[in-house]
Chains A and B, each alone.
Chain A
Amino acid sequence: MKLLKSAALFLLPATISVNANAEYLINLADFPDWFQQSMARETSVETSGKMVIERLNVDAQVKGKPVLQDSGSTDVWYYTMDIGSDSPVECYAFLEFDGAANSLHAIVEHSLGGAEQINGKALSGRYTLGLDMGMIGDTPFLQLDTLYNLGEGSEKVVGVLKGLSAQTDQSLQICVHNEMGYQQTFHNVFASFVQAFTANDQQPELYEATYRMTINGIPVGYSQEKHTIDQDGDIATVLRDAMITPVDQVAVSRSDSQTLEWSRPDGSLINAQEYTIENGQLASQFAISSAEDAWQVTGQMQGKEVSATLEYNSWLLSSFGNYTETALLLASDAPSADYHIWLSDADPTSALPVTFTKIDELPVANLQFDLGPLTLKYLATENGSFEKGSIAQGGAKLILEKVYSKGQPVMP
């Protein structure tokens, strides 16, 4: 790890500004030339090495000569990769984890602690340098870069810790690199590492899609859906959401949630289970199923048990049904369609009425989704798939945009 020492970093709090149209939350142009030059460094990684993890079905060449280190756990694989810079890239594969957002933040915290130990200096300042979301093939990733100071006074030094995180089918991959610059180099090594875990993934999905979320132009996370037909002809849906939201110059809020949902080909819900982890804590966990002609909900929120029988006992629209019913609405003469949905994040004890209405605001939107006072205008294709939508509230604007899809949300 290379730390640069400079009095210029005393100026950090005064020079930080939000750069709304870039991944960096700090305006690098405000920094001295030496800093900008360090941040612009790149190198070409020509070396590679074999990485084999039998339990995860991994057997691949990975950039940067991976060297397996002792992780202290049989469920964690920890590699260092020499990329020709002063510090190696460090990569982890986890079998048990909180999620792409929470776990990335935890590793960043762990690495900052390591930097303190190695340098014998306490963390004296930190700033969220950059956030981003992107795709490696069909796998979404999150990025969290941190600018930090160690030590005080004339001994103060500055470092940049880059972090990337991606959840694949069986495990979670996180890489960090504690050195200024080498952004693209680091990304390339991370991509190579992640691809080692997806190379043998041959799960056939009927439809999968990933959506990028931005708030006021800041990329804060993603939502991923995978819909698969089971042997009975029902649809198994896995939904994963991961968000890292900046809350001030230093702190970020982390949220990961996962839903496993089963629905019928007509778009009606059979049952669902879901959980959400926020800031390292299990925030909620719910399951819904039908029994004795009623919807039963069990679970907990912030450790408090919740159990309810929904007053509504009829057809609930599933995530997959959302696509099929949207396609039907767009193909019909009807101006709108009404449904009930179950959304534990909104109210685990109720089925909520929602309305989809055709609107003519092309090319921006052709549908409007209303849930209580909530209105989202969005663009859907004729097969019902969501392309792009936005919500504005207060001084903020949220945009959802599909960045990847494979297949069609249509039963064969």
Chain B
Amino acid sequence: MNKLITILALTFSLNVSAQSVPTLAEIPLTMSASQSGALTNTIYLEVETRQAASLVKHLSNYSGVTTQQLNDNTVAVALAQQPRFTGKVQSKYAQPSFVIDTDEPATRAFIEGFTKTRTDTDELEAITAYVSEYINEPTYIHGFNLASTVATQRAGDCTEFATLTTALARGLGMPARLTIGTVITAYAESADAFGHAWTEVWYKGKWQIIDAALYGADGQQFYYLPTGTLDNEGPGFAMSLVMASSLFPNRVLNVQNLQ
């Protein structure tokens, strides 16, 4: 039974975190009654979560996001579109790992493909565009694939996009880490929220978000609410995903422009 519980829980976490089940990964979102028109650069929201204190602690590692714990289950959040990780650049963020396996032939070939075709456009934009185009079979069926697997299959959902983006950044010498969280997509009069994955890359002296999965996607604005990172990039990476998705909101409430 322990295997049953864990398989399901892990599958569940993977599905939710990977946005591999859009209908299941969707996080209920309610706009504030006072909000009219489009959301702007910084928004206010209330996050209902089972681990409010842990979420507050995690978000304290970011600039562009401020929090206030309202009660055991709710955190008030002021959120910029792209909160910035303020942690140190660790050596592991630049090295190959079991998951971000830039030392595998398939991943190396993928990276070389970029270096041969790179243009003079903004480097982060070029990385994002390249990965977005390289994965030519977007599909939600995968749980979580290694970078070399993604490079070979050229298929996947947001976790596969993020894995390959992280590998490409590292292959180009930029420290990078795979981040899990919630993305809020704002439209003209509405918004929705999903479990998501993206890459944080150390570029020009600061951590910056790049997201190949949503490159060119519909939506006026994207707001990234990080809940964890793939801290364990070894064969036990699934537990990192569980950790990250354990901070996921149950609901996002009262979304509005920050007054």
Contact residues of A with B, CB < 8 Å?
Answer: 18, 211, 213, 215-216, 223, 225, 239, 241, 243, 245-248, 251-255, 257, 259, 278-279, 283, 301-304, 306, 308, 317, 319, 322-323, 341, 343, 345-350, 352, 354, 369, 371-374, 376, 378, 386, 389, 391-396, 398, 400
Contacts and interface: CB of A to CB of B under 8 A. Distances in A.
23 contacts: A215-B12, A223-B4, A225-B4, A245-B11, A246-B21, A251-B141, A253-B20, A253-B21, A259-B3, A319-B3, A341-B6, A345-B3, A345-B238, A346-B236, A349-B236, A373-B51, A386-B4, A394-B16, A394-B195, A394-B249, A395-B27, A396-B12, A398-B12
B186 to A, nearest CB: 18
Nearest to B145: A302
A395 B10 CA distance: 16
Contact of B250 (A243, A392, A400): A392
Contacts of B15: 215, 245, 253, 396
B129 interface: no
B176 interface: no
Among B1, B5, B25, B236, max chain A CB count under 10 A is at: B1
Contacts of B148: 302, 304
Among B2, B28, B232, max chain A CB count under 10 A is at: B2
A343 B13 CA distance: 15
B236 A347 contact: yes
B127 to A, nearest CB: 23
Interface string B226-238: 0000001011101
A257 B6 CA distance: 13
A257 B28 CA distance: 32
A372 B243 CA distance: 8
A365 to B, nearest CB: 13
B50 to A, nearest CB: 8
Given A354-B2, A394-B248, A395-B250, A257 B7 contact: yes
B143 interface: yes
Interface in B74-125: 98, 101, 104
Contacts of B235: 301, 306, 308, 347-349
A241 B139 contact: no
Given A322-B1, A391-B9, A246 B23 contact: yes
Contacts of A396: 12, 15-16, 21, 24-25
Contacts of A246: 21, 23
A213 B140 contact: no
A255 B8 CA distance: 11
B246 interface: yes
B138 to A, nearest CB: 10
Given A253-B20, A283-B143, 20 more contacts: A215-B12, A241-B4, A251-B139, A253-B141, A255-B11, A278-B142, A279-B142, A304-B148, A346-B242, A348-B235, A349-B234, A389-B5, A391-B9, A393-B13, A393-B245, A394-B27, A395-B27, A395-B28, A396-B21, A400-B8
Interface of B: 1-13, 15-16, 20-28, 50-51, 98, 101, 104, 139-143, 145-146, 148-149, 195, 232, 234-236, 238-239, 242-243, 245-246, 248-251
Nearest to B248: A394
Contacts of B8: 213, 223, 391, 398, 400
Given A247-B22, A252-B141, A346 B16 contact: no
B4 A239 contact: yes
A345 B235 CA distance: 9
A394 B6 contact: no
B22 A211 contact: no
Contacts of A245: 11, 15, 21, 24
Contacts of B7: 223, 241, 257, 343, 345
A321 B240 CA distance: 27
Given A394-B250, A396-B25, A211 B2 contact: no
B209 to A, nearest CB: 20
A346 B12 contact: no
Contacts of A322: 1-2
Contacts of B248: 393-394
Nearest to B20: A247
A322 B16 CA distance: 27
A246 B15 CA distance: 11
